[in-house]
Every structure is written in structure tokens, then in C-alpha cells.
Amino acid sequence: MYLIRLKESLSCQSISTYAWGCLRQISTSLKTQDDGSGTNYIDLPGGKVPLTGNLTFIGGPLQGPRIATYRTIDMTGRPVDGAHVPNNLDREISIKIYKTMATLQTMDTLFYEAQRQGRFSFYLTSQGEEATTVGSAAALHPEDIVFAQYREQGVLLWRGYTLAQFFNQVRASNS
């Protein structure tokens, strides 16, 4: 509603000018400091961060050691000795997460095939993102608000959205 009114009252040029003005105001409110070596820093809540105009990547074959990958289980699914697990999940929650991810994979396969056959006009799978969406949803409180979008069906499944509700949504029906 606000964007529609904004669009009606302002031209594209004035919206662009307004947005650039906001960005300039934000960028000038950030104060840079020189540490004496000629390197400029910006003081952020987490500490001073150097500013650079060069895009570089950490690690890789040409630069020092690579960043280690955090893991708690080995390639066979067994716990890694000495691995720190900050908030260990109980068995019940772990099984629910697994079942939700497996349900999501099955639903994605069926719905994708139906979409390719022309039975649904539109469906995007969340293939490869199951753990991200379901794990994030599992970490939230039930009263937390979620604005799920494309490829985040796992959040809705975790919250109790049924396969019938998904089917009705992609078919644009209520029964």
C-alpha cells in the first residue's frame, strides 16, 4: 500500500534521488579512522574493520592455510571425538527434523514432476536447502513470525502445514 502511494506521488527520478540521498547520509555518518599506517578503518559494534577497494578471497591454493570446516559427525555419521556441540538436540527433535526434511524431499519430487507435466503452473523445489530451512525453523519459537517465500517450504512443513495445504496452494484451490 505504501509503495503504491509512493509510486503514484513520486516519479522514478525522484525515488532514485531520494534513495541515493539516504545512502549518502548513511555512508557519511560512518566515520573512518587512520591507524597511522595509512590504512583506513571503520569502527563497527564488533570492532574496527579495515576498509579496502580490493576484492580478495580467504584461503585457496594461492593463499595461506584454508579455513577449517566445523563438523560434529564424521563421514559415516558417527560423532567426532572432542567436537563441541553448543546446543545438543534431543533424539525426538532430531527425528522430527529428519522426517520433515525427508517429507520435503518427497513432496518436492512429486510436485516438481507434476509441474513439469503441466498439472501445476508454478513450483520451485527446495532441493539442497532442506537442512537450512528446516533447521532454521526448528530453532525458532512457535510464536515467532515467519515470512516464508520461494524454496522455504521446509519452514511451513515444520510449522505444521500439511501436504494437502501445499497441494491446494499450488493448485490455487481451498479443497
- Given a contact cutoff of 8 angstroms between Cβ atoms, the answer to whether 71 and 83 are in contact is yes
Q: Span 66-71, mean pLDDT?
A: 74
Find residue 41's DSSP bridge partners: 33, 50
- Torsion, Cα of 112, 93, 132, 126 (10° steps): 0
Q: What was the pLDDT predicted at 165?
A: 93
Q: Span 65-78, mean pLDDT?
A: 80
Summarised one tens digit per residue, pLDDT across range 117-127 is 999 888 999 99
Q: Please tell me the least confidently modeled range out of 10-24, 76-90, 132-146, 152-166.
A: 10-24
Summarised one tens digit per residue, pLDDT across range 3-50 is 333 444 444 455 556 555 555 554 544 566 666 776 777 777 777 777
Taking the whole predicted model, whether its pTM rises above 0.85 is answered as no
Q: What was the pLDDT predicted at 112?
A: 94
Q: Please tell me the least confidently modeled range out of 26-30, 45-49, 72-76, 153-157.
A: 26-30
DSSP 79-141: BPTT---TTPPPHHHHHHHHHHHHHHHHHHHHHHHHHHTTSSS-----TT-HHHHHHHHHHS-
Which residue matches cell numbers 513450483? 123
Q: Please tell me the least confidently modeled range out of 30-39, 74-83, 139-148, 166-175.
A: 30-39
